[in-house]
């Protein structure tokens, strides 16, 4: 699950990013409105945490531009403002939820889970499943028929992406964008290494699921 954090308070932005990464999300972080809009318009994110007061362009302007370009990524507005009018304005401009600073970590994570559920890519808070192959967020593992094995963070994120798009060929470019970021210099052989690890682990737990290669294109979970 890939998230974008747009927040100009650098310490807060980095703290948010670290909290989300510890909870198995892939996170890109930017600190101004211009970069926020550029990232948001790529459409690669499963959710966006967006501050309203930003240099260069406000969060509301980013939101309006996104919706005008038919980018329907769920958005959680994050702001120090607490007035009802601000909340109404943000929601009317296309935000999905609203969280006022200061906030507690538990509420933030709960709202992020609710936000990403709206996109329909997860079954519950801690588990996704494909034909008996289960991916467990709380233990960073996969299991089948009582057998389980731990995954690294990148293995988990790639498997989550594959399970969210079963029987669909995911191009290598999309995997890089989702897991490493669209400006990453990661090469295709990095993906191949992680796919190899995942195939071995799927075999260890004796799951009939297979990660198949579409030569020159990408991978699919069958």
Rounded to an integer, what distance in angstroms lies between the CA atom of residue 110 and that of residue 138?
14
Angle at 177 between CA 120 and CA 41, to 5 degrees: 75
Indicate whether 140 pLDDT > 60: yes
pTM for this entry: 0.70
Which residues share a beta bridge with 75? 48
* 46: its two tokens: 């499963």
Q: By three-state DSSP, how is residue 97 classified? A: strand
**In angstroms, what CA-CA distances link 70 with 6, 43, 56, 89, 209?**
19, 9, 22, 19, 35
Each residue's pLDDT tens digit, 72-122: 899 999 887 666 777 788 788 888 998 888 889 999 999 998 888 765 444
pLDDT at 120: 47
Lowest model confidence (mean pLDDT) among 20-24, 68-72, 124-128, 154-158: 124-128
Q: Mean pLDDT, to the nearest integer, of 169-177?
A: 90
pLDDT at 78: 87
Lowest model confidence (mean pLDDT) among 51-55, 56-60, 127-131: 127-131
> Count of CB atoms within 10 A of residue 205's CB?
18
Please state, for a pLDDT cut of 70, what percent of the chain lies above it. Answer: 94
Rounded to an integer, what distance in angstroms lies between the CA atom of residue 29 and that of residue 210?
33
Rounded to an integer, what distance in angstroms lies between the CA atom of residue 30 and that of residue 8?
8
CB-hemisphere CA count at 13 Å for 209?
28
Structural domains in the chain, CATH included, are 2-117 (3.40.50.2300), 127-221 (1.10.10.10)
Q: Mean pLDDT, to the nearest integer, of 156-163?
A: 92
Indicate whether 52 pLDDT > 60: yes
Q: By three-state DSSP, how is residue 134 classified? A: strand
Each residue's pLDDT tens digit, 4-27: 999 999 999 999 999 999 888 989
Rounded to an integer, what distance in angstroms lies between the CA atom of residue 53 and that of residue 180?
27
- The whole-chain average pLDDT of the chain stands at 88
Which residues share a beta bridge with 78? 51, 99
């Amino acid at each position: 699950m890939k998230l974008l954090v747009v927040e100009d308070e650098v310490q807060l932005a980095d703290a948010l990013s670290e909290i989300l990464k510890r909870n198995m999300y892939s996170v890109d972080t930017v600190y101004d409105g211009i970069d926020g809009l550029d990232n948001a318009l790529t459409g690669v994110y499963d959710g966006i945490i967006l501050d309203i007061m930003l240099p260069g362009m406000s969060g509301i302007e980013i939101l309006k531009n996104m919706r005008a370009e038919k980018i329907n990524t769920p958005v959680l507005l994050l702001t120090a403002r607490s007035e009802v009018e601000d909340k109404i304005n943000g929601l009317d401009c296309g935000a999905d939820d609203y969280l006022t600073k200061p906030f507690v970590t538990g509420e933030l994570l709960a709202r992020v889970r609710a936000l990403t559920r709206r996109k329909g890519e997860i079954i519950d808070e801690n588990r996704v499943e494909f034909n008996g192959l289960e991916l467990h967020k709380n233990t960073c593992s996969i299991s089948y028929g009582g057998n389980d094995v731990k995954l690294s963070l990148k293995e988990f994120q790639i498997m989550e992406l594959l399970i969210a798009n079963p029987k669909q060929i995911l191009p290598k470019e999309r995997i890089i964008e989702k897991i490493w970021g669209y400006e990453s210099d990661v090469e295709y052989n990095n993906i191949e290494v992680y796919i190899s690890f995942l195939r071995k682990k799927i075999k260890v737990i004796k799951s009939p699921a297979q990660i198949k290669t579409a030569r020159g294109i990408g991978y699919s979970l069958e």
